[in-house]
């Protein structure tokens, strides 16, 4: 049986989160469908794929190092190594791996890319030479190892220039410099950050329109374009911090065709099999289109375009890796023949917007530039750009503009001008405020380098806001407001009515929300992605199924604190509900979430998680079971008011992390309580800070160093506490220890991050047990049959923080600002 080693992405960071775990799951399922064995290596405790036994035969929890990969290759002798699902830095790791000679020693090869493509992706200078040979326009790039050679670029092309560290030690290093002094300082910093002591100096294309495209190629050379994505912000602002829109809104047909031809030419020359994500700069003043980046691997754009188009990109690429051709791929009963070979069409607009952790890190520098500042994203899909944008923005506040637009109203004209010229995060609100104050589209385009088209679209929002404030609310005006995406709560505020009046008005005017299925053929064929978005039109395409239904409200965009651990817990819950016979329905607006995989969810609504949307989906689906994260109190209250017969799952593992700072040795006992019996899961031992003075809950090991007698005593204390009127559930009891005496500090539901760690340490589906407990289907025998792992090693867990990436110094780490985590077995 052939086998594939899938190399993960490591801990979540500024540049990758859940989207790569989502990719792993879908690609692994493709391998398993063709009878391949799969090995997956990662050290991210929040990875659902590490627990997905139905798709991963051999999960390996190891740091992603050359030594560990060499050992795994020797152990498993894989036919393929998949380096395209771990992000950009895995290509650096592959080059280092090749230097060991392992590929001459073991008969294995890379999936998707050859060594030449890996080397050229890692070295912009080599890539530039190759692309010039095929007459592809690129910005000028030089790779240097000393300042004298670097400065030749400044003399030849002038400023601004982009300075980027090659093979950085920790995180991506990329800056735009504008003068001699900053150039010298930035170069020295970049050289120090580079593992190979090399720095790329690039001609800046700042201010030009930025376009991204995703293409696919099979081993026979057949090429397809999956989607073209336009970034609203110009080059000079990191693409991850811009509004990304598909299909492209402002490109001319000849520009679309030029980008398509260039993307195909590059992918063909590099002999890529699978996915290739390319970025371009459009210079209309000189009628030029430059290639700025070639990324033959999966990333945030890959997951976004898969959801936006309905084209099962990951599954198709996984099958290409097994040797199939596009024309041979059969995607099963939900798709028509040759869907894999048919370029997707879109009859809607999708927008991905960045999510910034400014409320958790208010002292960070939130000016937008070439360094990424966002840590997550939200998606909105609608019949128009405006509807899609307003949906995506609803992740911040259900009443669009009530707080943020009100805040920018306090700015003086000079302050507003500065924010237009030197943008900061959440800049959409300053753009709309400028339109409120009478700036023309052309004036704003000159100040921001954003295409005037977007301002002309955003004027619709300003006009609607004014009409709702100054005119009587008619059926026609209400219909317009809903069509363009305004929530009921915003319409109520602007028209000075309450929500009950708005509900009655909508009912009388018969203005009803309908749901449209995202289809890669735009409805031309009968096929089903089972993914829906809402709009206000006549025909509803979502029909409730016949099986018992479970409606799960997803955790939404990634933030600091629990991060993707919430997605892990939700995905494990979905799996348990599915196994219990429910049709699993998810509402989520995080385009990177693993909960959106068709391998986990039966049906997905890509919608903001507001009471208004949840109520409408609940009325349509009539679920027997509903789960809402504890954070969404408003949704829970509204659901309870509905005339529906459902069970609300009381699972409280997804909640805001709590900052607990202790000065004594600290232990976390985890238990499952069924209302009568306490089942002991295990005890984590917190490790102190470097100076040994504090225990922050961000560094811990399992199992603890307690003796058998101490462990028994702690278990007895847990039994006593659980007997004090606690509801059934899974709990964490935090104790401090002074010699042999334990003091109980806090009892709380086990946080999502600890659930993920402990589940991997114990090889026990804790979320599944908790879900069955909530459904009334937990049986004591299930726990009794579980055999603790005989692995004698300790599992070490450490939180990961964004401070270096955001250039924050002296920031106190805490659970509230954790971005991710890493785990490792200790010898």
- In this predicted model, what pLDDT tens digit does every residue of 687-738 receive, in sequence order? 998 888 888 899 999 999 999 999 999 999 999 999 887 889 999 999 999 9
Angle at 677 (CA atoms; ends 672, 678), nearest 5 degrees: 40
For the domain that residue 151 is a member of, what is the CATH number?
3.30.1490.20
CA-CA distance, 391 to 359, in Å (whole number)?
21
Does residue 683 form part of some domain? yes
From residue 387, alpha-carbon distances to 513, 620, 709 in Å are 13, 22, 62
User: Are 670 and 816 contained in the same domain?
Assistant: yes
Vertex 121: Cα angle to 449 and 190 (nearest 5): 70
CA distances from 480 to 289, 400, 483, 768 (A): 38, 16, 5, 45
The verdict on 674 and 811 lying in the same domain is yes
- Tokens representing residue 743 in the block: 């003091």
460 sits in which H/E element: helix 452-470
**CA separation, residue 741 to residues 709, 734, 737 (Å):** 12, 13, 6
Q: Report yes or no: 176 and 369 within 8 Å, Cβ to Cβ.
A: yes
627 and 727 in a single domain? The answer is no
Asked if 497 and 396 sit in the same domain, the reply is yes
What is the structure's pLDDT at 72?
A: 97
Residue 603 lies in a domain: yes
DSSP run (H or E) holding 69: helix 66-76
Q: Tell me the C-alpha distance between 712 and 144, whole Å.
A: 62
In a domain, residue 67? The reply is yes
CB 81, CB 109: distance < 8 Å: yes
pLDDT for the residue 401: 73
**At residue 415, what are phi and psi to the nearest 5 degrees?**
-65, -40
Low-confidence ranges of the chain (pLDDT < 70): 170-172, 631, 787-789
Among 172, 187, 203, the domain-final residue is 203
* CATH number, position 99: 3.40.50.20
What is the model's pLDDT at position 280?
96
Nearest to 267 by CA among 333, 197, 331, 317: 317
Same structural domain, 710 and 806? yes
For residue 350, tell me if it sits in a domain. Answer: no
Answer yes or no: is 148 within a domain: yes
Burial of 699 (0-12, 13-18, 19+ CB in 10 A): middle
- 789 lies in which domain range? 666-826
Nearest CA among 630, 647, 619 for reference residue 570: 630
Q: Where are the beta strands (DSSP E) in 90-190?
A: 109-110, 141-144, 161-165, 174-177
CA dihedral (723, 724, 727, 731) in degrees, to 10, reads -70
Prediction pTM value: 0.92
Task: Using DSSP bridges, classify how beta strands 625-627 and 647-648 pair: parallel, antiparallel or unpaired.
Answer: parallel
DSSP-assigned beta bridge partners for residue 37: 3
Same domain, 590 and 474: no
CB-based contacts of 326, cutoff 8 Å, min separation 6: 216, 218, 222, 224, 316, 320, 340, 341
Residues 436 and 549 in one domain: no
What distance in Å separates the CA atoms of residue 649 and residue 652, rounded to the nearest whole number?
Answer: 9
In whole angstroms, what is the distance from residue 19 CA to residue 11 CA? Answer: 12
- Which pLDDT belongs to residue 788? 67
Positive or negative: CA dihedral 354, 358, 361, 366: positive
Number of compact structural domains in the chain: 5
Nearest CA among 812, 823, 807 for reference residue 371: 807
Domain co-membership, 191 together with 68: no
Q: Determine if the peptide bond prior to 247 is cis (ω within 30°).
A: yes
Is 382 part of a structural domain of the chain? yes
The string of DSSP codes covering 534-549 is: EESSS-------SS-E
8 A C-beta contact, residue 243 and residue 231: yes
817 domain-assigned: yes
367: DSSP letter: B
Task: Determine the length of the chain.
Answer: 827
Are 817 and 672 part of one and the same domain? yes
Does residue 676 share a domain with residue 819? Answer: yes
Note whether residue 742 is domain-resident: yes
| Statement to judge: residues 488 and 392 lie in one domain | yes
Q: What is the pLDDT of residue 679?
A: 92
187 and 145 co-located in one domain: yes
Location of structure tokens 């027997």: 624
């Amino acid at each position: 049986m052939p086998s594939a080693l899938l190399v993960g992405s490591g801990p979540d960071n500024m540049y990758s989160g859940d989207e790569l775990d989502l990719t792993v799951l879908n690609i692994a399922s493709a391998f398993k469908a063709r009878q391949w064995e799969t090995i997956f290596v990662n050290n991210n405790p929040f990875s659902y794929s590490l627990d997905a036994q139905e798709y991963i035969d051999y999960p390996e929890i190891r740091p992603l190092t050359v030594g560990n990969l060499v050992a795994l290759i020797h152990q498993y002798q894989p036919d393929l190594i998949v380096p395209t699902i771990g992000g950009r830095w895995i290509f650096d790791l592959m080059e280092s791996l090749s230097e060991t000679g392992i590929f001459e020693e073991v008969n294995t090869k890379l999936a998707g890319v050859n060594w030449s493509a890996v080397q050229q992706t890692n070295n912009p200078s080599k890539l530039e030479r190759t692309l010039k040979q095929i007459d592809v326009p690129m910005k000028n790039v030089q790779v240097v190892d000393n300042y004298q050679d670097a400065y030749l670029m400044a003399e030849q092309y002038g400023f601004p220039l982009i300075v980027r560290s090659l093979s950085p030690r920790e995180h991506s290093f990329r800056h735009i410099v504008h003068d001699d002094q900053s150039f010298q300082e930035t170069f020295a910093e970049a050289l120090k950050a580079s593992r190979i002591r090399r720095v790329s100096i690039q001609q800046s294309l700042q201010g030009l329109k930025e376009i991204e495209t995703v293409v696919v190629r099979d081993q026979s050379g057949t090429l397809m374009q999956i989607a073209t994505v336009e970034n609203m912000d110009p080059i000079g602002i990191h693409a991850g911090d811009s509004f990304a829109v598909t299909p492209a809104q402002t490109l001319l047909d000849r520009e679309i065709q030029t980008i398509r031809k260039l993307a195909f030419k590059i992918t063909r020359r590099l002999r890529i099999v699978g996915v290739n994500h390319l970025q371009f700069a459009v210079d209309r003043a000189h009628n030029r289109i430059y290639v700025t980046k070639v990324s033959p691997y999966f990333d945030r754009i890959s997951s976004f375009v898969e959801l936006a188009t309905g084209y099962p990109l990951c599954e198709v690429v996984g099958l290409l890796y097994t040797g199939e051709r596009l024309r041979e791929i059969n995607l099963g009963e939900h798709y028509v023949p040759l869907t894999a070979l048919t370029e997707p069409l879109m009859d809607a607009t999708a927008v991905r917007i960045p999510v910034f952790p400014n409320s958790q890190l208010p002292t960070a520098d939130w000016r937008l530039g070439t360094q990424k500042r966002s840590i997550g994203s939200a998606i909105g899909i609608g019949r128009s750009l405006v509807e899609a944008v307003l949906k995506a923005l609803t992740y911040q506040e259900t009443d669009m503009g009530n707080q943020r637009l009100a805040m920018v109203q306090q700015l003086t004209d000079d302050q507003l001008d500065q924010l237009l010229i030197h943008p900061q995060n959440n800049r959409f609100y300053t753009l709309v405020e400028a339109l409120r104050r009478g700036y023309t589209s052309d004036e704003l385009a000159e100040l921001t380098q954003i295409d005037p088209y977007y301002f002309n679209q955003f004027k619709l929002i300003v006009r609607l806001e004014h009409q709702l404030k100054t005119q009587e609310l008619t059926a026609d005006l209400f219909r317009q407001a809903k069509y363009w995406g305004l929530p009921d709560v915003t319409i109520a505020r602007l028209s000075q009515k309450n929500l009950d009046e708005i509900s009655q008005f909508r009912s009388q005017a018969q203005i009803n929300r309908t749901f449209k299925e995202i289809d890669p053929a735009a409805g031309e064929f009968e096929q089903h992605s089972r993914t829906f978005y809402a709009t206000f039109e006549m025909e509803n395409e979502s029909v409730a199924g016949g099986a018992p239904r479970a409606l799960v409200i997803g955790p939404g965009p990634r933030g600091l604190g629990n991060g993707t651990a919430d997605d892990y817990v939700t995905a494990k819950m979905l799996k348990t509900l599915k196994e219990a016979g429910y049709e699993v329905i998810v509402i989520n607006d995080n385009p990177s979430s693993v909960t959106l995989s068709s391998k986990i969810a039966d049906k997905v609504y890509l919608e903001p998680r507001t009471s208004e949307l949840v109520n409408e989906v609940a009325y349509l689906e009539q679920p027997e079971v509903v789960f809402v994260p504890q954070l969404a109190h408003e949704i829970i209250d509204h659901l309870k008011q509905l005339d529906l017969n459902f069970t609300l799952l009381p699972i409280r593992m997804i909640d805001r992390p709590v900052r607990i700072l202790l000065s004594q040795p600290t232990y976390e006992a985890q238990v499952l309580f069924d209302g009568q019996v306490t089942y002991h899961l295990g005890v984590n031992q917190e490790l102190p800070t470097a100076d040994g003075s504090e225990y922050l809950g961000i560094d811990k090991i399992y199992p603890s160093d307690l003796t058998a007698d101490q462990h028994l005593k702690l278990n007895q204390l847990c039994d006593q506490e659980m007997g004090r009127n606690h509801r059934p559930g899974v709990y964490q009891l935090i104790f401090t220890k002074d010699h042999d005496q334990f003091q109980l500090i806090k009892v709380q539901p086990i946080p999502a991050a600890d659930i993920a760690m402990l589940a991997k340490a114990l090889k026990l589906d804790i979320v599944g047990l908790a879900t069955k407990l909530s459904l009334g289907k937990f049986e004591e025998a299930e726990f009794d049959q579980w055999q603790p792992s005989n692995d004698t090693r300790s599992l070490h867990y450490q939180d990961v923080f964004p401070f270096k990436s955001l250039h924050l110094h002296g920031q106190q780490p805490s659970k509230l600002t954790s971005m991710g985590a890493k785990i490792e077995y200790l010898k």
